[in-house]
């Protein structure tokens, strides 16, 4: 039994239960589960996100202070990365995520005592070195330290007179002088590999400590124990076997943290990452010329601190163009090899999927690499059944990988975002919104630029301007789509999966969902069983037999497929700019039959009512052996209610077609085309533009829509009928 440092009561350990929240703890553990919920801990700010602040409680132990826990707006916080803060551990989840709470006390002196929480030591919880265990001293906050400082000075690591920050040996790993020198490397000991391809940044050596002076009391310095091997480069994943050795590393600086002692550089090479501590003097930035993103050569001794490997940096070299290219190429090759999936056999017989197998792997590699590199993934897809299912397939595959890569509870939302396109075309308006968002996240939260994946959209020239804007800022682009693709798209994106580019005309025989399902399986083969029914759901009619059989094997009959399709269609319409992630997951993957049935009933009721009105107002025409049904959608549909014009016309066309038949839906300044035969709508638009002057005629999306100015509506409709008949 011990005595409580606050009240002196007999208790297990150093603090009684009633005063546990009156002290602040310094955590020296290495795992989240070693924290004690309810306690207040001293931490440092790691960084910001839209949803809160990440706080480092200890080495490699980081929690989230959610914005809902703050007593003020997140935007009003003035904390900078590295600032000391005080938080309460509210909960440690089974997956290691730590939920933090706000502390109104933001100083050691505002607590009634300080304790060290070191679960890996024999003592467990104990007083900081030199602090008195007398409760009266703890009450006054002035327990004497061994060197005459007050306990508050000892707790915060500051000099009582000057306020200069200091750090213990465990907390402030400083770069040690090289063997054989009194205070640091001699000119002869400069980095041996500082060739013309590198710019050497040499820091001043730390001041000689008293212990060093004692060790060097002789007239001659001790001989060096080892020579630095600057010819042999080590890889980070091999450092486990090099503890105590001096090695050379090459890679990219991915983060820099300034502590009250050393500067900590996080270095990444093709095999992993490691923290490298460099000491100039307490709290002073070492190697100030080196910035995040620089490619460097670093030499230092491998040590283990609190169970983690760390490099005690002796010299740092900033690489110039030629050497940097070598390192970049090596890292890119290794990353590509790690991200590239093994080739999988298609789930079902589909010539379109077979023709795009290599492109499917390219797209999957880009997605997997974005996850590994901690880059956000944004999926842009058509707000239709095919678009939603294609996006959901990629989401289903990527989310588990994202959550494995990141420990915070919000990673699935922070690093993956699915954004529907209301009119199915990615244009400059959409690209401007995406660019504004990604630049804001980069500048405010140090977020990397995203990978943007386009599903069931992006294959036509309408998206080229938007792709160009994303390219200017370096956001990678992947397209997964069906239908005729413009060749220029291939040069505008990093990867494109489209069977038409492989010479396969598969617009009616496959779907974007079928292609996206193949991509998703290569991203994460572990979700293959979840995706087996999706292609069959994406076809409104004439489901290919191979996909119907696959869905049946997964336990989905024709009726269940119809109901899921109808439910997704209804929800895709309402708030079409929102992803509705949880609802779509329930509809598509969770076999929520009651929910699916309830929504599909609404779909059928709304659609049947609208179809009845539309069919009663169809205008029938005939021209050149082609039958036309023209619907004035502006006058005979509810424009701001379900179903949307495209889905309504699809159903009207399915119910009325026979032979060479074309359905035209005419709105104020748009015309929708559905036909029973292959029809190049872009060619139709070009013919009409020549025929009707100054009507602003242009194909929208290149497949089924033609735009025009409202004043020329009647002339445009007549010209479209003539052009279709000529091209049929």
Mean pLDDT of the chain: 84
pLDDT band (50, 70, 90) for residue 362: very high
Q: Tally Cβ neighbours within 10 Å of residue 615.
A: 15
Least confident window among 116-130, 550-564, 684-698: 116-130
Q: Which of 708, 707, 703, 650 is nearest to 681 (CA)?
A: 703
Contacts of 190 (CB under 8 A, 6+ apart): 200, 202, 315
**pLDDT tops 80 at residue 139:** no
**In the prediction, which pLDDT does 602 show?**
96
Read off the pLDDT of residues 602-639 as tens digits, 9 standing for 90 and up: 999 999 999 999 999 999 999 999 999 999 999 999 87
- The residue among 163 and 126 whose pLDDT is bigger is 126
Sign of CA dihedral 105, 108, 110, 116: positive
**In the prediction, which pLDDT does 576 show?**
79
CB 58 within 8 A of CB 30: yes
**pLDDT tops 50 at residue 165:** no
**pLDDT tops 60 at residue 181:** no
By percentage, how much of the chain surpasses pLDDT 70? 85
**In the prediction, which pLDDT does 110 show?**
84
Burial class (CB within 10 angstroms; exposed 0-12, middle 13-18, buried 19+) of 400: middle
**In the prediction, which pLDDT does 507 show?**
65
**pLDDT tops 70 at residue 154:** no
pTM over cut 0.75: no
Read off the pLDDT of residues 5-15 as tens digits, 9 standing for 90 and up: 877 777 777 88
Q: Which of 226, 204, 367 is nearest to 288 (CA)?
A: 204
pLDDT band (50, 70, 90) for residue 48: confident
Q: How far apart are CA 70 and CA 68, in angstroms?
A: 6
Q: Which residues does residue 455 pair with via DSSP β-bridges, in sequence order?
A: 381, 480
pLDDT band (50, 70, 90) for residue 187: very low
- The residue among 347 and 68 whose pLDDT is bigger is 347
Mean pLDDT computed over 704-712: 93
Least confident window among 173-187, 340-354, 687-701: 173-187
Q: How far apart are CA 670 and CA 375, in angstroms?
A: 38
Structure tokens at 213: 């002076």
Mean pLDDT computed over 65-70: 87
Longest dimension (CA), the chain: 110
Burial class (CB within 10 angstroms; exposed 0-12, middle 13-18, buried 19+) of 167: middle
Expressed in angstroms, the distance from the first to the final Cα of the chain is 94
CB 346 within 8 A of CB 354: yes
Q: How far apart are CA 449 and CA 473, in angstroms?
A: 8
**pLDDT tops 60 at residue 224:** no
b/e string for 132-161 if b means 16 or more Cβ within 10 A? Answer: bbebebbeebebebeeebbbbbbbbbbeee
Q: Which domains does the chain have, with CATH numbers?
A: 2-156 (2.40.50.140), 187-333 (2.40.50.140), 349-599 (3.90.1640.30), 617-727 (3.10.310)
- Degrees (nearest 5) of the Cα angle 311, 315, 318? 105
**pLDDT tops 90 at residue 216:** no
Mean pLDDT computed over 24-49: 91
**pLDDT tops 90 at residue 592:** yes
Strand extents, DSSP E, 534-693: 619-623, 626-632, 661-666, 670-675
**In the prediction, which pLDDT does 130 show?**
55
């Amino acid at each position: 039994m011990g005595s409580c440092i606050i009240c002196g009561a007999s208790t297990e350990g150093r603090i009684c239960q009633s005063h546990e929240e009156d002290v602040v703890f310094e955590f020296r553990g290495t795992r989240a589960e070693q924290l004690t919920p309810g306690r207040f801990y001293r931490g440092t700010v790691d960084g910001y996100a839209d949803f809160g602040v990440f706080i480092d409680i200890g080495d490699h132990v980081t929690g989230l202070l959610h914005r809902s826990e703050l007593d003020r707006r997140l935007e009003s916080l003035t904390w900078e990365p590295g600032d000391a803060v005080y938080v309460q551990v509210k909960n440690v989840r089974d997956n290691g995520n730590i939920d933090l709470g706000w502390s109104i006390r933001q100083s050691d002196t505002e607590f009634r005592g300080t304790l060290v929480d070191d679960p890996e030591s024999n003592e467990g919880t104990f007083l900081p070195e030199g602090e008195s265990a007398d409760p009266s001293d703890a009450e006054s906050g002035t327990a004497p330290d061994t060197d005459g400082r007050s306990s508050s000075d000892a707790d915060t690591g500051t000099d009582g007179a000057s306020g200069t920050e200091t750090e213990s040996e465990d907390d402030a790993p400083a770069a040690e002088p090289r063997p054989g020198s009194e205070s640091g490397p001699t000119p002869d000991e400069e980095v041996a590999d500082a060739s013309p391809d590198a710019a050497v940044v040499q820091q001043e050596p730390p001041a000689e400590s008293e212990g060093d002076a004692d060790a060097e009391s002789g007239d001659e310095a001790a001989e060096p124990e080892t020579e630095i091997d600057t010819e042999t480069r080590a890889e980070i994943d091999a450092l486990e076997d090099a503890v105590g050795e001096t090695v050379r590393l090459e890679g990219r600086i991915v983060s820099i943290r300034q502590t009250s002692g050393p500067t900590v550089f996080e270095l990444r090479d093709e095999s992993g990452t490691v923290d490298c501590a460099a000491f100039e003097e307490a709290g002073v930035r070492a190697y100030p010329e080196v910035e995040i993103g620089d490619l460097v050569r670093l030499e230092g001794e491998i040590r283990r601190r609190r169970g983690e490997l760390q490099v005690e940096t002796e010299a740092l070299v900033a690489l110039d163009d030629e050497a940097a290219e070598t390192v970049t190429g090596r890292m890119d090759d290794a990353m590509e090899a790690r991200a590239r999936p093994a080739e999988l056999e298609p789930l079902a017989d589909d010539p379109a999927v077979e023709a795009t197998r290599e492109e499917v792997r390219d797209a999957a590699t880009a997605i997997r690499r974005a996850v590994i590199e901690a880059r956000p993934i944004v999926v842009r897809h058509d707000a239709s059944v095919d678009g939603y299912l294609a996006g959901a397939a990629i989401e289903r595959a990527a989310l588990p990988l994202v959550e494995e890569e990141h420990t915070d509870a919000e990673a699935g939302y922070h690093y993956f975002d699915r954004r529907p396109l209301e009119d199915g075309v990615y244009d400059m308006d959409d690209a401007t919104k995406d660019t504004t968002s990604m630049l804001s996240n980069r500048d405010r939260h140090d977020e990397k630029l995203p990978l943007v994946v386009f599903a069931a959209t992006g294959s036509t020239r309408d998206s080229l301007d938007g792709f160009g804007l994303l390219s200017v800022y370096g956001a990678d682009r992947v397209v997964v789509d069906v239908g005729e693709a413009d060749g220029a798209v291939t040069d505008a994106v990093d990867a494109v999966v489209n069977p038409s580019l492989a010479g396969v005309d598969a617009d009616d025989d496959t779907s974007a969902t079928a292609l996206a399902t193949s991509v998703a399986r290569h991203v994460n083969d572990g979700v293959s069983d979840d995706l087996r029914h999706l292609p069959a759901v994406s076809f409104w009619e004439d489901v290919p037999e191979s996909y119907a059989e696959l869905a049946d094997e997964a336990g989905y009959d024709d009726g269940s497929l119809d109901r899921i399709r109808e439910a997704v269609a209804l929800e895709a319409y309402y708030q079409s700019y929102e992803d509705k992630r949880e609802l779509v997951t329930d509809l598509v993957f969770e076999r929520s039959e009651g929910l699916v049935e309830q929504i599909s009933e609404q779909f059928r009721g709304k659609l049947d009512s609208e179809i009845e009105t539309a069919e009663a107002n169809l205008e029938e025409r005939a021209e050149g052996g082609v039958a036309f049904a023209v619907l004035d959608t502006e006058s005979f549909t509810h424009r701001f209610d379900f179903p949307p014009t495209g889905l309504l016309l699809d159903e009207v066309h399915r119910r009325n077609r026979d032979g060479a038949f074309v359905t035209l839906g005419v709105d104020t300044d748009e015309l929708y085309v559905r036909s029973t035969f292959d029809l190049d709508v872009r060619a139709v638009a070009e013919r009409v533009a020549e025929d009707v002057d100054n009507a602003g005629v242009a194909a929208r999306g290149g497949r089924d829509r033609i735009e025009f100015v409202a004043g020329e509506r009647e002339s445009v409709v007549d010209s479209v009928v003539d052009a279709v008949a000529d091209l049929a």
